[in-house]
Structure 1
């Protein structure tokens, strides 16, 4: 993948946005596992890109884009983790038997496959440095030297964290509980979904609080009932979209299917409420990579043609 260098033009915002387009899903794969949440991971990605744009204004030249953005994302995620008191200390020792070659042996490949298949939420059970190293090596395929540079560690320290992280991850997966049991939808979300599926756009607009906000990741924040109401005007022009109540990471969300018979949701929405009025809509239509790693459980009372599955990942 291209490292990405920015030209010394004065206004480099469009260039940065273009260069980050292909990096954004990869950044999310890292941040989601580091945070233990696909939703929190996307918040870190958005914050990373915002910070990068601000920093860019004061830079004559930038370092290679990919490691620069990963470093910003990593530091921001650690800040958030520290604020939650999820920090864990661990000793560092060398594990010189960790493979560092471009062509890993079969055992190395099995370890990588296990990491890729591990649910996002389970990574948070690893100490932070172990978590970072395992994600970078086994999920994203970074070299030991690249990881050492990014995390400001020695290669031997990276090997140590990797060996212990892999061992701990196998233990976590062996003891993992099954997917959480699906729960019925709340009355508020059930009403929103029913109005949407009936294409009752005026009914949906009536649910908006005066100070409602809309976040669509790559687009500017919308605020106020009149402006956010245009959200439904846009969806009115899109055929086939079908919603179902769902649960993700303990949050009640909405699974969005692009056809009523589609077997899997394409993306999610997440609403916040106050006194039966919507105060915040997060629509992840433009960052669909989130759904690829989401441990999503659709509410059992959701009526939708399809194969009957209620869990996706």
Structure 2
């Protein structure tokens, strides 16, 4: 197949690279933090691989060669164009003053449907994180706050399990430099507050379903007291690409009070989905029971124990199709309860970021 692809057979090239497309897209997402950018860079990677296939000598595996191209394409994109900062949305109401402003406003959610059938990396001395653990929002945000080469080294070694020598070849540097980048990246992760929180309920478990269903029912009813009762004391709410962040129950409650009051007769419907290995909902708004509900963003919940410690509201209506969410929802239908999600195995590492 490789020889046929080298000879210019596009079908052979497609068959050769198809097994790696999903994991390469996820790799680009981890480094870039944006699904839109990751899909663009995946296409650039495949075009570069097609054009350079004759120079592939087989000294490394085809998978490793593709990761080398993808990683360097992502780093080049960050270096050449800088971070593409989305325009800050203008809310239709006057929000309360945030008590923090987030740095990673380009963050987008990653559909759980794209995490299906991904291979787990072979355990190695550098591997520290399971595939799903390393796509959680907190982990991806932490990567965005690192220098890009540090983030790339950490993903290649600690998530994908590549040895430092091979990562050095991928990045065009020395093994000593990779070791230093890893040490700094790990220190940055360790310095972020984990809070000693208990782990989240297992995906698809009864505990998770009950908690997310209670949230959906309270949110659709605009019952702020019931929503707040489900939060940890240090819970926070963010809204990429808006930089506004509300930390602590009083700040979150005040934002919900103002946002849910606009306009007073609007109906809200939540449709369950999954993002970044976490429970999520497509949000729909309708002006009345007689009009269809239109997309109004995605909500991703971060859980700890039997509570919610973070609500991330993404203003990303253009991604609804990627989450297999409908373009509209009948406002006369009741909100859909949270559907069971696929159960996940326990993570190898307990070094989870909240």
TM-score by length of 1: 0.50
**How much is the aligned-residue C-alpha RMSD, in angstroms?**
4.7
Structure 1 partner of 2:238: 180
* Partner SS, residue 316 of structure 2: strand
C-alpha distance in 2, partners of 1:42/1:177?
32
Shift in alpha-carbon separation, 1:82–1:140, aligned structure 2, 3 A: same
Query: Would the aligned equivalents of 1:8 and 1:61 in 2 still touch at CA under 8 Å?
Result: no
Structure 2 partner of 1:94: none
Gaps of 5+ in 2: 84-122, 196-233, 240-255, 270-282, 301-311, 326-332, 341-353
Structure 2 partner of 1:28: 25
1:38 aligns with 2:38: no
Structure 2 partner of 1:284: 322
Pick aligned residue for 2:315 from 231, 244, 252: 252
- Higher relative contact order (CA closer than 8 Å, sequence separation 6+): 2
Structure 2 partner of 1:49: 46
1:131 aligns with 2:158: no
Query: Would the aligned equivalents of 1:116 and 1:138 in 2 still touch at CA under 8 Å?
Result: no
Deviation at 1:24, TM superposition (A): 1.4
Gaps of 5+ in 1: 87-101, 204-241, 255-268, 272-282, 292-301
Shift in alpha-carbon separation, 1:308–1:14, aligned structure 2, 3 A: closer
Structure 2 partner of 1:159: 179
Q: How does 1:21-100 map to 2 (within 5 A)?
A: 21-56=18-53, 59=54, 63=58, 64-85=61-82
* Paired residue total: 204
Structure 2 partner of 1:264: none
C-alpha distance in 2, partners of 1:308/1:8?
43
Query: Would the aligned equivalents of 1:36 and 1:122 in 2 still touch at CA under 8 Å?
Result: no
Deviation at 1:132, TM superposition (A): 0.6
Structure 2 partner of 1:112: 129
Structure 1 partner of 2:335: 304
Deviation at 1:126, TM superposition (A): 0.7
Query: Would the aligned equivalents of 1:48 and 1:69 in 2 still touch at CA under 8 Å?
Result: yes
Deviation at 1:54, TM superposition (A): 3.9
Query: Would the aligned equivalents of 2:5 and 2:12 in 1 still touch at CA under 8 Å?
Result: no
Deviation at 1:31, TM superposition (A): 1.0
